Amino acid sequence: QVQLVESGGGLVQPGGSLKLSCAASGDIVSVKAMGWYRRAPGKERELVAIITSSVSTNYADSVKGRFTISRDNVKNTVYLQMNSLKPEDTAVYYCNVQGYGGSTYSFKNLWGQGTQVTVSS
């Protein structure tokens, strides 16, 4: 069984910072990509940032220069450092992990439970 546990969300003032973490446990033995998505009220879920197995990264235009995605392979954890936060960053943030594992080495597409980030003065 694979689990993704997210933490680090909360309430922060505009211009402040938060760091999200997502720890993966289970039978994934080959991680292809880890990323963060978010869903704001009344909006579709959107990609925020992703880091691949080759350590390449991609960011949504709205967060470039403010957010940084990183990973710790030993802890099997992905992080999202969020700086210069704006009210429009308010959303539920979801961790996503894609890879292969299990007895049949099948493809896995996993989601965390979501963590609320609220940016308000």
pLDDT for 1: 66
pLDDT for 74: 81
pLDDT for 86: 98
pLDDT for 101: 82
The secondary structure of the chain in percent helix, strand, coil, rounded to multiples of 5, reads 0, 60, 40
Please tell me the distance from the alpha carbon of residue 103 to that of residue 116, in angstroms, as a whole number.
34
Please tell me the distance from the alpha carbon of residue 121 to that of residue 11, in angstroms, as a whole number.
9
Please tell me the distance from the alpha carbon of residue 40 to that of residue 22, in angstroms, as a whole number.
19
pLDDT for 62: 97
pLDDT for 54: 85
CB 31 within 8 A of CB 23: no
Asked if the model's pLDDT at residue 78 lies above 80, the reply is yes
What average pLDDT does the segment 40-59 reach? Answer: 94
Q: What is the mean pLDDT of the chain?
A: 92
pLDDT tens digits, residue range 2-37?
A: 788 999 999 999 999 999 999 987 777 788 899 999
Helix extents (H) in 2-119 = none
